[in-house]
Amino acid sequence: MSSFTYALIHEENGNFGISFPDFPGVVSGGATAEEAIARGRDTLAFHVAGMVEDGDTLPTLRGLSELQQDPEFQEDSEGAVVALVPVDLPGKPVRINISIDETLLDRIDRAAKARGETRSGYLASAAKVRLAG
C-alpha cells in the first residue's frame, strides 16, 4: 500500500542529507536535494523490505502536526526542509481464488520450492516485478 512519510533534508557545504523521523537511522544523501530524495526513497524501501522480512513491526506514520509536537523532531528539523516521500508499506494479506493452467501451476510450485518460497510469495514477487516494468 503506497503511503507517504515525512523526511528532513539538510544541506551542508553543498551536500544534502535526508532522514526519516518515523524510521530512525534511515539516512541517505546526494549532491542535490532531488538526488537525496531519490536515494532516500530507495534506502527507505530497502529498509522497509528488511523489516518485513525480519518480522519487525512497522512504525505508524505520523502526520506533520503530530511530528511537530515531538521534541526530537523539533530539534532535528532546525534548518531543514520538510518533504513528503512515498513509501510502500505492505498491506494485509487477502485470500483470493484464481484459475490457472495446471501445467503452469506445477512450474510455479517447482520454481517457488527451488527458491524456498511459498506459492503465494512467489506469485506476489512475480507480480511486483511485472508491475514495476
**Rounded to 10 degrees, what is the CA torsion of 122, 56, 16, 68?**
130
List pLDDT tens digits, range 81-124: 999 999 988 877 788 999 999 999 999 999 999 999 899 989 98
What is each CA distance from 48 to 42, 65, 69, 77, 112, in whole angstroms? 10, 24, 25, 23, 23
All three cell numbers of 19: 532522514
In terms of domains, do 33 and 78 share one?
Answer: yes
pLDDT of the residue at 91: 74
Range of the domain at 121: 102-132
Helix (H, G, I), strand (E, B) or coil at 50: helix
List pLDDT tens digits, range 42-89: 999 999 989 988 888 899 999 999 999 999 999 999 999 999 999 988
pTM: 0.70
Assess if residue 111 is contained within a domain. yes
In terms of domains, do 44 and 82 share one?
Answer: yes
Number of domains in the chain: 2
CATH value at residue 71: 3.30.160.250
Assess if residue 107 is contained within a domain. yes
Amino acid residing at 91: G
